[in-house]
Amino acid sequence: MPSDVFIRRALPEDIDEITGIFRSTVLHVNRKDYNEEQVKIWAQSADKKEKFIARMKEQYFIVAEMENSICGFASLATDGYLDLMYVHKDYQERGLATLLIKELEAYARENKIFLIYSDVSITAKSFF
């Protein structure tokens, strides 16, 4: 696992990097498990920046940074729902998703959230 990763709360000013990672990951990584029309529609969710900002306010929304750039993000709702988990295509297979999950698990323990659950994409199933 990388030692030069910094995990912190997401900020509204991170929105362009976050939605860029979301779009890029869906278009490049998820494409192997979904057809072109599906990933195109899914990637368009990145245009709804206000929904991402709302999640930052309502959820424990974190980012992973390396070399002063966001390379991944994840969010956990107050009921334990793992809502978002995306790692930039160029940073896959480096342990970043594991670091993000460990941080969410620590937050859940501290806040007496006893169950984390999610709806997981076909692409992400092997991680979970």
20 has pLDDT over 90: yes
Could you tell me if 4 and 65 are in contact, meaning their C-beta atoms sit under 8 angstroms apart?
A: no
**124 within some domain:** no
pLDDT, position 122: 55
Give the mean pLDDT of 114-122: 75
Containing structural domain, residue 46: 6-110
CA pair distance 69, 6, nearest whole angstrom:
10
Of 14-18, 86-90, 103-107, the least confident: 86-90
- Residue 99 maps to a domain: yes
Model pTM score: 0.86
Domain count, the chain: 1
The answer to whether residue 120 is domain-embedded is: no
- In a domain, residue 87? The reply is yes
Indicate if the pLDDT at residue 23 is higher than 80: yes
Lowest-pLDDT range, 23-27, 34-38, 96-100? 34-38
The verdict on residue 115 lying in a domain is no
Average pLDDT value for residue range 33-55: 81
How far is 10 from 56, CA to CA, in rounded Å? 6
Q: Model confidence at 35, in pLDDT bands (50, 70, 90)?
A: confident
Give me the CATH number covering residue 67.
3.40.630.30
Mean pLDDT, the chain, integer:
86
Q: Is the pLDDT reported for residue 66 higher than 80?
A: yes
In a domain, 116, yes or no: no
pLDDT of res. 43: 75
